[in-house]
Structure 1
Amino acid sequence: MRSLRGNAVETERPVAQARRYDRRRVPWYVSIPVTFAVIVALFLAAGKFNWLPGLPNPFATRQVDRSQPAVLQSIENMSRYDAAAGNFQIVVDLDNEAKFMPSALLGSRTLYVAAGTVDSFVDLSKAGVTVSADRRTATIVLPHAQLAQAALDPKRSYVFAQQRGLFNRIGDFFSGNPGDQQKLNVLAAEKIQTAAGASGLTQRAEQNTGSMLKGLLGSLGFTLVTVSYK
């Protein structure tokens, strides 16, 4: 009886150890995502840091410009006089909120500093000119000054801060699109265009155009030059 009990005890010990070992093992549905996340983190870190100084980094990348040469599509004859230009800067605060989920999981907020210029011009092709017989007096009637489209400066425009939810970061990682840059540019250009309309830029353009024409015709011998807008 003692030998049987001893054998029973000896045979039960490996089984108990195996059960305890099985309880310690990480489930497969947890280990696979964790392993994938570790591999991705190591790959991204290897691209930024050279772990073996003196040896070439196998994860290093280089930028190669394979763009095609620019193609001229059309040429337009310009008859306008660019009389004034305004430099603008604006901070675009774009917040995409989810209706039924917290922002930590779904949503994004971006602070975008945009800089651009807006030109104000007068169309000289529509000018009406009246000259006296003695060529001493001239009357010029011009259309009112207009605003050109806002032009953003990419060298002075940048994303200042950005917050994204967990699902947004995962989607951007797999899609390779870290943000909607085009939407930010369009929104910034619209706001700069609106600001230019309220800045008095067209009035300054009309004043500069009148001064330019009076100086030009005065050098040609005209003693009285009148410039008006309608």
Structure 2
Amino acid sequence: MARSETKNDAKNDASVKSSPRRSRPPRRGLLTPVAIIVATVALVLVAQQVLHGLPHWLNPFAEETKDRSGPVLLKSIRDLHRYEAASGNFQVVVDLEKDAKFLPSSLRGKRTLFVGNGSVDAYVDLSRLGSGALKVNADRTAATISLPPAQLEKTNLDTKNSYVYATQRGVFDRFGDFFSSNPNNQQQLYVLASQKIQTAAGQSGLKQRADANTKSMLENMLKALGFKTVTITPAPQ
């Protein structure tokens, strides 16, 4: 029995030695490109921080602004027949976030906080006063004016006092911004801020204030001309 077990063990050892071992897939070939990409991104970020810390005259990538604009061309002039009756100043914080669907924000994504300051004017278009808008009695002591409603101008965004308060960017976004600039992103912030201010102006009672101020102005002007009674009515739409 001991001899037969020894032979069986020898056969088993021989079969184990003769069986081919499974080859493991090489990991070095897969890790090398990833390591190169990570090292490149890290090197670019470090270089960006170092270059920003250098004085302007030592930084080889420092920008120099030169104004090569031509003269301003006057295209047209138009007369305005409106009374600027009220103006509102507004401030809005735009929170704009862009992210990738399947990547964390630390890798791919950008969030910007933008503070927008602007104003909206309310006016009454006096050119809409028709021939029958002003009615005067026979002895010129009473006048009735049919006044159109106030309207809102477009938002006048103060770009000088509007600014980016904070920006959070992912690694890939930082890498891309190092080589290129995106002026459309700033323009998008301006557009969003203007739209939000315009909406707020329409809900702020600015037009009602303009109507009241215009009515008061016309009453005082006509009374200074000798009219004792002045009546302001809304014009038919």
**Which residue is equivalent to 2:66?**
64
Letter in structure 2 aligned against 1:174? F
What is the aligned counterpart of 1:169 among 166, 174, 177?
Answer: 174
In the alignment, structure 1 segments of 5+ residues that lack a partner are 1-26
Letter in structure 1 aligned against 2:157? L
Asked whether the equivalents of residues 44 and 175 of structure 2 are also in contact (C-alpha less than 8 Å), the reply is no
**Which residue is equivalent to 2:114?**
112
In structure 1, C-alpha distance between the alignment counterparts of 2:233 and 2:50, rounded to whole Å: 66
1:140 aligned counterpart, secondary structure: strand
Percent identity, please.
Answer: 51
Alignment of 1:82-121 (within 5 A): 82-121=84-123
1:180 aligned counterpart, secondary structure: helix
Alignment of 1:37-76 (within 5 A): 38=43, 45-46=50-51, 48-50=53-55, 57=58, 59=60, 61-76=63-78
Asked whether the equivalents of residues 47 and 61 of structure 1 are also in contact (C-alpha less than 8 Å), the reply is no
1:203 aligned counterpart, secondary structure: helix
Shift of 1:75: 1.4
Alignment of 1:1-230 (within 5 A): 34=39, 38=43, 45-46=50-51, 48-50=53-55, 57=58, 59=60, 61-127=63-129, 128-177=133-182, 180-230=185-235
**Which residue is equivalent to 2:15?**
none
Shift of 1:90: 0.7
2:212 aligned counterpart, secondary structure: helix
Q: Deviations over 1:162-206 (max 9, x none)?
A: 111112222222222277011111111111111011100000000
Provide the alpha-carbon RMSD of the alignment: 2.7
In the alignment, structure 2 segments of 5+ residues that lack a partner are 1-31
* Cα distance, 1:227–1:206 mapped onto 2, change above 3 Å: same
In structure 2, C-alpha distance between the alignment counterparts of 1:207 and 1:224, rounded to whole Å: 17
Letter in structure 2 aligned against 1:129? L
Paired residue total: 200
In structure 2, C-alpha distance between the alignment counterparts of 1:180 and 1:97, rounded to whole Å: 14
Query: Greater CA radius of gyration, 1 or 2?
Result: 2
TM-score, normalised by the number of residues in structure 2: 0.74
TM-score, normalised by the number of residues in structure 1: 0.77
* Cα distance, 1:135–1:180 mapped onto 2, change above 3 Å: same
